[in-house]
Structures are given as structure tokens and as C-alpha cells.
Structure 1
Amino acid sequence: MNWVSYEGKRSKKLVFKESVPQGSVLSPLLFLLYIDDLDDEREVVELLHTLHQQECDLTFMWCPSHRGIVGNELADEKAKERSEQDQEGTDWHYAASKAAIKRSIKIPPMQHERLRKVYGERGEKLNRIEERQLTRQEQVTLSRLRGGHYPDLRSWQHKIGRIEDPICRNCKMGEETGEHVLLECPVIHPSIHSQLTDPEAIAKEPRLALKVWEK
């Protein structure tokens, strides 16, 4: 039931959080008993009582939402067939799968051994504390540089097939990875690189590390 119509006017949209039992749909009396037990549907009951007091005739009409639509009918049929088949394979644990997905989104992959070592030892909590001084966009940029999948890195563009040469565009001395840009390239901001001597320094001074990549 989506709304009640009275004298050409409709009540606000009503949506049941649970499916309505079939018997309640077929019998107006059972329907009234059903919704009378739902706290969220008191407005419907009050409206029906008001209309009854005004001696209005009420007609309940069941409007199927998808009957007769070929695609929906076929989907229902296939779903029913599948549900009746024997289920094989490993058990799927929702909680464990959800936690794994959250971890994969929250922790960026560390492509280089030096970065993996430092950030693994320091722990995710400490990293978050030190990166609170960054804006959301700055955090994303630094995470992508650390993980080696920042879109402008030539190593990343090479990996996804956009360019043939992954060599650093500035020094021409090594592959343009996140580690190379942040720690190794002698051409990009040498004064900053003198302070960023290792991944530990990047973790302590994330905003300084971002200046390396500023154009």
C-alpha cells in the first residue's frame, strides 16, 4: 500500500518496512488488524478511522508491481529455479567478507618494500593521527603516491598501458614510481629531498612530502 486516496487527494507516500501478509491484502479486516500493530503506520489507521466516521466507503485495491512484465517474470522464474537447486561450494561468511572489503578500501596497497616496511611497523592508527593535518584530497594524493598508483606517475601509466616508457620525466635515471618521486629523484625539489631521507620522514612530515609533487 503506497497511499490512501480520498476525494481526489492522496495522503503522503506510505511505505511498509515489512511485506504485507497475503491474507491481510485479501481481507480489509485482517489488513486493519495487521497495520494496527505497526507503530510506524499509526497515521494510516487514524486516517481510515477518520474516513469511517465520515461514512465514506473504502475500497482496497491490490496493484501488482510487476506482473505481466516479461523481464521480471523471467527473472522470478530463474531465481526460483536456482533456489531449488543444490548449493555447492564454500560457505560465505558475511561478517568476514565485509571486514575484508573494508580493509582493502581503507589501507592503500604498498607497492615498494621500503614503504611497506615503515608503514607496516608504524601501524595504521599512528598513520591516521599524523595525516589528520591534511585535507581529504591531500590524504588521497599521498596515499596514491605511496601506493604507486597515482594517475600522473609514469610507472602507473606504463602499467595500465597508456605509455611505453616508465622512466622518470625529470632525471631520466629511474622508473617514475611513488618511491622514486618522494625519496630518490635528484631533480624534483632537491631542497625538500634533503629533508625526506627515508619513508619515516614522509610519515612524520606528510605535507612536506606533498610539496615534492607540486608542479
Structure 2
Amino acid sequence: MAAYVDSAGGGGLTLTFGDVVTAGITTVAKLELDDLLLDGGFSSLTDPPLYYDIATTAGFDRELGVEVCVVFDVGNMMPAEAASQHLYHYVDGVWVDITSSSSHGKVCGLTTSFSPFAVGQPGWRFRGFLQPVDNGGTLNAMKAGAAVPIKFGVGGNRGLDILAAGAPSSSVIACPGGTAPDEVEQTVAAGSSSLSYAAGSDTYTYVWKTQKAWAGTCRQFTLGLNDGTTHTALFDVRK
């Protein structure tokens, strides 16, 4: 077994060889944040992000492989997030999910080769919805025919081709009984819906143009992204 302890308090890493055939030297180096490595279809929830480069001159049984385990600080993660981290391995220019087990603050994976490894969560790190839209099942009230800026972040600039096919969409839902809607404080003029990105705030804005025919209904706005996730917000569309 080989072990690496992060002196900065970011966690540690252990390697457990199934069977060592010839002795050698194993090295582990913590990598700095690199956008080329970061954009791998997953988001890093650890602070700072955990990227390691592993190399060895030891000969080992590749059928048994090597177990790589990373211990990390759960920080401000939700319990479900802390227990569902994945371990990724950079192979031939592609990040591969090699996770074999994941628990609160520890994730392990099996590998037969070495190069960069990273701890992350599948999908982009969604930040939103941002004001003027409220989250958490809050009913947002707005006038039919108006346009509202739907603002959100996905952990960086991923271009404007981030929407899933047919997204976003909206559908009629039953208005929640006894729920006091929260007025949308900001609407914008827009001839049609559009998507833009602001680098300064790392924020996407989708201008959602409602229809006057929707007056008197409640609707669910569904934002589908190319990472396979969907995010919803509720609206009370008034006359």
C-alpha cells in the first residue's frame, strides 16, 4: 500500500496493489486546477478541487489492478452529495468513471493504469435559479405575455449549446392550493426567447417569453441541460 497525505488539509490518497510483481517507486502529485482537465462531464464539489497525478515504476498484476481511494473534506456539501462522489481517471484524453465505492468523505476506484485522477460529481454544478426567480417550489407570479430572465450557472462557460433537445419547456400544472405566489420583481422586453452568457458573473440567462394565452394558469418551467440534468421552477401566470 502507498499513501499520500495532503499537508494543506485537503484530504489524502491511498493505493492498494492487488499483487506487486516487481518493486518500484510510486509517486503522487496534487495537480493545480486546469480547465482542460476540469471539463470532463463532471463537477468538482470539493474545495479546492482534488486532482492527482499518479505514477509508478512497480510491476503489478493488471488483472487484479490497483485500488485508489481518496479521502476528502466534505465542507459545505449536502450529505447526499458527500456520499455520492465519483472517482475519475484520465485515459487517452477522456475522463473515465472508475468508481467502485463511495461513502461520506471517501471514494475509491479500481485501475490498471496511471495518469491524472479526480474527485467529482456527475453532471455540471448547477447554480440557480437566481433572482428574480425563486427556487424551492416557490410559485413565481408574473403577467402573461411578459418575458422573465431565467438566470443560472453551471460551473463555468460551457458555450451556448448547453440545452438538451427540446429544452427548455413549460407545461400546465395545478395551482398549489393555499400558496401565496412571490411576485417576479424583474421582467424584460424580448421579441423571442434567447440564451446568453456573462463571463463576469459566470451566469447564463435564458429570456423566457410567456404567452398571453397562458393567463390564469400555473406552469412548470423545465430547464434540461446537456449533462442529463433537469431543473424546474413554478409560475403563476396572471392576466
Q: TM-score, normalised by structure 2?
A: 0.17
More helix by share: 1
Q: TM-score, normalised by structure 1?
A: 0.18
Larger Rg: 1
Higher relative CO (Cα under 8 Å, sequence separation at least 6) belongs to 2
